[in-house]
């Protein structure tokens, strides 16, 4: 199980996946990130939301464009779920091993039982690069989107591309 950003870097190096790292002060919001990154770097950064259905049977990690907000009702309909809400911090730690502010598609390596489904905004699938946290909100890494997909598939979490309703 992967818990630290250094372990993410090690994994990427072992798999010969090129990536760029930017170490920075802790960031909690997209506004915080915009202040510390160049416009070019910030343009490829993704936003993440960890959601659950009302019975806590289905868990979703939604990866979307940084400037989008999620319309929960429309998303629920799009994925065929019951009512959705943001998962509590304790569930975030239990399922993905991260704290708020550090949510990342790479956190699914912590979900060894395969209970979390990764939903990716279809608009991101057309990008060459994607910027995500390496399980820690004091760094951001950029890698090719297709390399991220490969990693997610290898972890047992093939991403499902969806139109994220706003």
Domain CATH number, residue 13: 3.90.960.10
What pLDDT tens digit does each residue of the chain (166 aa) get?
788 999 999 999 999 999 999 999 999 999 999 999 999 999 999 999 999 999 999 999 999 999 999 999 999 999 999 999 999 999 999 999 999 999 999 999 999 889 999 999 999 999 999 999 999 999 999 999 999 999 999 999 999 999 988 8
Record the tokens describing residue 55, joined without a space. Answer: 């019975």
The CA distance from 87 to 111, in Å, is: 15
Number of domains in the chain: 1
Instruction: Tell me if the pTM is above 0.85.
Output: yes
Among candidates 61, 143, 132, which has minimal Cα distance to 102? 132
Is the Cβ–Cβ distance between 48 and 68 less than 8 Å?
no
Domain boundaries, position 148: 5-162
The CA distance from 28 to 123, in Å, is: 23
Instruction: Count CB atoms within 10 A of the CB of residue 155.
Output: 20
């Amino acid at each position: 199980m992967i818990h630290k950003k250094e372990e993410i870097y090690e994994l990427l190096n072992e798999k010969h996946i090129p990536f760029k790292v930017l170490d920075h002060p802790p960031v909690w919001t997209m506004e915080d990130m915009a202040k510390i990154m160049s416009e070019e770097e910030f343009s490829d950064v993704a936003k993440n939301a960890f959601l659950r259905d009302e019975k806590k049977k289905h868990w979703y990690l939604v990866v979307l464009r940084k400037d989008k907000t999620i319309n929960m009702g429309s998303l629920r309909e799009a994925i065929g779920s019951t009512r959705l809400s943001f998962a509590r911090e304790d569930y975030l730690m239990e399922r993905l091993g991260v704290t708020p502010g550090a949510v990342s598609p790479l956190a699914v390596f912590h979900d060894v039982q395969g209970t979390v489904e990764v939903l990716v905004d279809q608009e991101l699938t057309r990008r060459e690069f994607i910027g995500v946290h390496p399980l820690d909100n004091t760094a951001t890494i950029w890698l090719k989107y297709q390399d991220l997909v490969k990693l997610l598939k290898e972890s047992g979490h093939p991403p499902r591309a969806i139109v994220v309703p706003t």
